[in-house]
Structure 1
Amino acid sequence: MTSSPRTHDASLTSRRAVLGAGALGTSALALAACGGSDGGGGSDGGGDAAAGPTLDFEERGPISLARGKDTTGQLAEFLDRWNSDHPDETVTLIELPESADEQRAQMINNAQAQSDAYTIVSLDVVWTAEFAANQWVVELPEDRFDLEGILPGALETGKYFDRLYAVPFTTNAQLLFYRQDLLEEAGHTEPPATFEEMWQIVQDVQAQDSSILGYGAQFSKYEGLTCQASAVIRSNGGDIFDAEGAPQADSAEAVEAIQTIRDGFDQGFIPEEALTYKEEETRQAFQDGRLLFETNWPYVWELAQAEDGSSKVNGKIGVSLVPGVKEAGASTLGGANYAISAFAKNAGTAVDFIAFMSEFEQQKDWMLNTTTPTAMAAVYEDPDIVAAFDFIEELKASIEGGVVRPKVVKYGDVTQAIQDAVYGAISGESEVQGAMEGLQERLTELGG
């Protein structure tokens, strides 16, 4: 790698990495990246998941794996690999719908029926608290997994009240994509580390070409806005909830962070149309040559570098870490984790299979063949991965500094409250201070 820890030069021309998309396709973004349920949080579930059921982690036999449809073909290879070595402990894949919400609904139905049909369930990273608190999945024996080898940010998504309920399989984090050619023409040699620096670059570039829009990210009222809010607040030294689960949405750090985005809209550094941006709208505006900067998932790299005429910016872009308010920028984490149903049989086999899936060989093969970031840190140092993937250093750094979305049981209600308040604040429908105070009241009512 010739790039610095913060920036990746567009002259690197590998085209094999479509991180977070590739064979998954852009329709799977919600689950693979910053997905989550739009529905409510199920039952309250109580506060202490430690009182939940336990399983016999020595019991062995056939098991099942319930997850979204495998569009990559790689999972079938892993199952064949395992099943050939464990003929008495085979794993059967149960493919659930592609929609994250439908997957969650079927998993909840299975749990509420106390069915043993699903042994291992693949959970979106935002579902851990709900499934653990409702005692739908069990606490896992930490000594049966190589947890030290997992990227810390990814590992945190599998915990609830510091107990392990799911082991990360894949992960993901956002990056800042920018028009390197336009920065250089305006006299800038480095991408921005803060929003203030980014606003200055936008001004300098627009002074030369007023048709160029500034910065775009996922500011529409949906799950992507929760991702953006969580990340920008962390970059200012705050969090929406503290370590004990108490809301702090009206803290000075949170208010200043959201005000920074509001100021970006008010001053024209963020175009008004960005209030409608989800992942694909952001990508398209950047790929069409209209945006100077975009925050997005790594899948956009290869699409923007396409040489078939679909991209106006191929060969002109650079990649760096996302900007922050005062502290280092942070990305909200995506990904999928493996948990064990509280009603499963043969939990010993389930533990061993999850450990198998988190081993280096499977983690490397998955990342190489599906172009989806995996959770094991050592994979990012492997020569084959480094050679195949652009901006691997930046991606790893973004994951390591990533933000975990609120670990709350009623996640559907909480994320909706965040989206309502933050959208009102950045769109000008309400003042930032009042919106965040209202959010604090709502989150307190929900009880986390």
Structure 2
Amino acid sequence: MRRLSVRWRITLVAAGLFALALGGASVVLVRTVHDNVVDGIRDSDEEQLSDLARQVEDGIPDAIDLPRSPPRDIPEYAFQTRAGRYVVLSDGRVVPADDRARVSAQRARDLQTQRIVETAEGQITLISERSLEEVDETIESISDALLVGVPALVLLLGALTWFMAGRALRPVEAIRAEAAAITGATIHRRVPVPATRDEVAALANTMNGMLDRLEDAASRQRRFVSDASHELRSPVASIRTQLEVGLRRPDADWPRIAERVLAEDARLEEAVADLVELARLDEGAPVTDLAEIDLDEIVLEECRRTRRLRVDTAAVSGGRVRGRHDALARVVRNLVDNAARHAETRVAVVLRTDGPVVEMVVEDDGPGIAPEDRDRVFERFTRLDEGRARDAGGMGLGLAVVRTTIERHGGTVVVGDAEPHGARFVVRLPAA
């Protein structure tokens, strides 16, 4: 059964159930018709016995008046008394049962009805006997018709089910064929959506939605690889240029060249670390090995590492969260480095616990971020124009790591305006 197609399975199941239903209905029909006919005959015989009872109230007569019915519809009557048994002939004469031998063409008696009557001569039992041969013949005719009709109806239903199943599954086959033809080079193609509003149309829409997401993911992956290769090429090219220039000049200032090479190497190392972190976060695995962490200690430690300018941490108070120490340390480092890179004179960090939430604020007095860019700034390889792009040290990965990490820890990060000017990043995490 498992090797059969869905179309065959639907057809066989439908035909089998229909055959069982028709077979059961046929048996019930034949039995019901038989019982109803026999019950009708019995009721008729009982009425006729009631009429005969009135004719024998004074004793057994020599003859009785038989019902006016076709001979074949009249049963055989008999009277049972203490003196013996009497039978009624077809002409109405009543004779002792011993004279029965003179009655020709005896019929089989399948149905017998009795009635006891109290008469002047004593108790008499009226007996009506008849053959059910005609009833059996009628039932047999009905059975023969059903034996032919039921298989014919089952075959007809099977053919109809085969046709309808094929028609219903035709869109599914079209979806399968189109899905099989879609490759990485043709991921822009979509499966056909039938005009109906049924489950097949819902399946097609779901598959097209999945293909949209796959195409978007593939596009983002290609863009990510392209941007990553471009961004990584810049520090590598800068290092190569610095070394080539130094080799061509005998009087080159090698300590200064080494300082520049180390700066580019640090930039390259930071970019690779961000790429590795983003790749790990993109795997979608649940955040494990969580522990209760004093976020204020991480903030103070990362702020001390910043060499560009002094970071104001006077408003840093206690705050405990559950998370991964290295991941949250990278978040703080990226936010502080981003603020220091664009600040004019100051960077301030605030940390406080507000009920079930730990809030961290990082502010700078730089050019700020325009409202239309505040969501785009968290996208990968995004570096804004004008004031905040004057320093080419960043590759546009740090804030992407921040948002992805915070969201994986169940928190949020938004950017707004600082007073009197500058950018203000607000991170909220569930308190431990």
**TM value normalised by structure 2:** 0.18
Point out the structure with the larger helix share: 2
Structure with greater contact order relative to length (CA < 8 Å, sep ≥ 6): 1
Query: Which structure's CA Rg is the greater one?
Result: 2
